[in-house]
């Protein structure tokens, strides 16, 4: 039977950790995409590669060294953007190549690539341990709580930073908090799709969700749903077809995006919008 596979412990852990990651990537991704930080995930993931290499080189847990280095990388990125005239995409490029260079240098110093490093690069959700699953659930819960608490503030600075300042928000502090949460999200998600594909989970479900033309909360719900569907279907298909889960998850997300685009061009999504009750009043 199709669902027999759910009796396997590795599958249960993969699905639970995968759904947790799907939720935080798409939720955080909404703000990243709105703030034109779409490639931030990619940049931080490459810094995380440097962090993992530091961990492997020093013989400490690579996940934790990745957290520390990525958060520092995120803060550095924010500082670079705010205190210099370097544009956002150029700042991401500087941080991205720096992280990668540190990683490559340390890997060569430690005598070459290891199996551990490959699992971080391409993801290894089916091999995830119980401890890692619990860690991912715990951190994901923390991220969701933070995003729920600060969602209005993050929406405001995503909409217009100057307006947020005038409204009395501490935009500088919020920006730093934002990059720290984003960095933690990226590192937590690495085990699912790997460093090289992480930005796909951050960007693609959100692009699909925004095509529906809904408000903020509905867009997040659609984005999270698409992300969860991509992860669950991707993991199942990868098991039955014996293919890499990270690749399958991203391909499903891309398929959902293409499907949404097709629905939109066929007018199926715009029809939904027209049916929304919204009387136009011109009585000021």
Residues that bind other proteins in the complex, under the rule CB under 8 A:
30, 34, 152-153, 155-156, 159-160, 162-163, 165-169, 209-210, 213-219, 276-284
Q: Which is nearer to other proteins, 36 or 101 (CB)?
A: 36
CB of 159 to other proteins, least distance (A): 6
- What gap in Å lies between CA 21 and CA 4, rounded to an integer? 23
CB of 219 to other proteins, least distance (A): 4
Q: Which is nearer to other proteins, 36 or 262 (CB)?
A: 36
Q: Are 207 and 32 in contact (CB under 8 A)?
A: no
| DSSP type of residue 110 | T
- What gap in Å lies between CA 72 and CA 152, rounded to an integer? 25
- Length of the chain equals 284
Q: Which is nearer to other proteins, 59 or 277 (CB)?
A: 277
CB of 5 to other proteins, least distance (A): 36
How many other CB atoms are found less than 10 A from the CB of residue 57? 17
Q: Which is nearer to other proteins, 16 or 210 (CB)?
A: 210
CA angle 247, 217, 29 (to 5 degrees): 35
Q: Which is nearer to other proteins, 20 or 219 (CB)?
A: 219
Q: Which is nearer to other proteins, 101 or 166 (CB)?
A: 166
Q: What is the secondary structure of 116-157 as a DSSP string?
A: HHHHHHH--GGG--HHHHHHHHHHHHHHHHHHHHHHHHHHHH
CB of 156 to other proteins, least distance (A): 5
41: exposed, middle or buried (Cβ count in 10 Å: 0-12, 13-18, 19+)? buried
Q: How far apart are the first and last CA of the chain?
A: 62
Q: What is the secondary structure of 195-263 as a DSSP string?
A: GGGHHHHHHHHHHHHHTT---HHHHHHHHHHHHHHHHHHHHHHHHHHT--HHHHHHHHHHHHHHHHHHH
CB of 85 to other proteins, least distance (A): 14
How many other CB atoms are found less than 10 A from the CB of residue 116? 13
Q: Which is nearer to other proteins, 92 or 211 (CB)?
A: 211
CB of 280 to other proteins, least distance (A): 7
CB of 164 to other proteins, least distance (A): 8
CB of 82 to other proteins, least distance (A): 15
How many other CB atoms are found less than 10 A from the CB of residue 36? 11
Q: Which is nearer to other proteins, 218 or 271 (CB)?
A: 218
- What gap in Å lies between CA 265 and CA 280, rounded to an integer? 26
């Amino acid at each position: 039977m199709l669902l027999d596979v759910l009796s396997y412990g590795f599958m249960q852990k993969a699905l639970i950790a995968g759904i947790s990651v799907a939720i935080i990537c798409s939720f955080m991704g909404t703000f990243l995409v709105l703030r034109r930080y779409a490639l931030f995930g990619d940049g931080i993931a490459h810094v995380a590669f440097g962090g993992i290499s530091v961990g492997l080189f020093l013989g400490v847990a690579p996940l934790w060294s990745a957290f520390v280095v990525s958060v520092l990388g995120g803060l550095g990125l924010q500082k670079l953007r705010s205190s210099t005239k370097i544009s956002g995409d150029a700042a991401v490029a500087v941080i991205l190549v720096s992280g990668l260079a540190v990683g490559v240098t340390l890997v060569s110093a430690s005598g070459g690539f290891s199996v551990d490093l490959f699992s971080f690069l391409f993801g290894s959700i089916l091999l995830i341990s119980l401890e890692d699953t619990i860690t991912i659930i715990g951190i994901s819960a923390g991220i969701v709580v933070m995003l729920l608490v600060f969602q209005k503030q993050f929406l405001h600075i995503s909409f217009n930073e100057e307006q947020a300042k005038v409204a009395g928000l501490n935009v500088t502090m919020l920006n730093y908090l934002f990059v720290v949460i984003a960095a933690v999200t990226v590192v937590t998600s690495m085990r699912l799709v790997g460093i090289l594909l992480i930005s796909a989970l951050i960007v693609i479900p959100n692009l699909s969700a925004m095509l529906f033309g809904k408000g903020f909360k509905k867009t997040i719900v659609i984005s999270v749903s698409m992300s969860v569907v991509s992860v669950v279907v991707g993991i199942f298909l990868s098991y039955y077809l014996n293919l890499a889960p990270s690749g399958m998850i991203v391909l499903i997300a891309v398929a959902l995006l293409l499907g949404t685009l097709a629905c939109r061009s066929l007018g199926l999504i715009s029809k939904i919008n027209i049916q929304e009750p919204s009387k136009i009043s011109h009585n000021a």
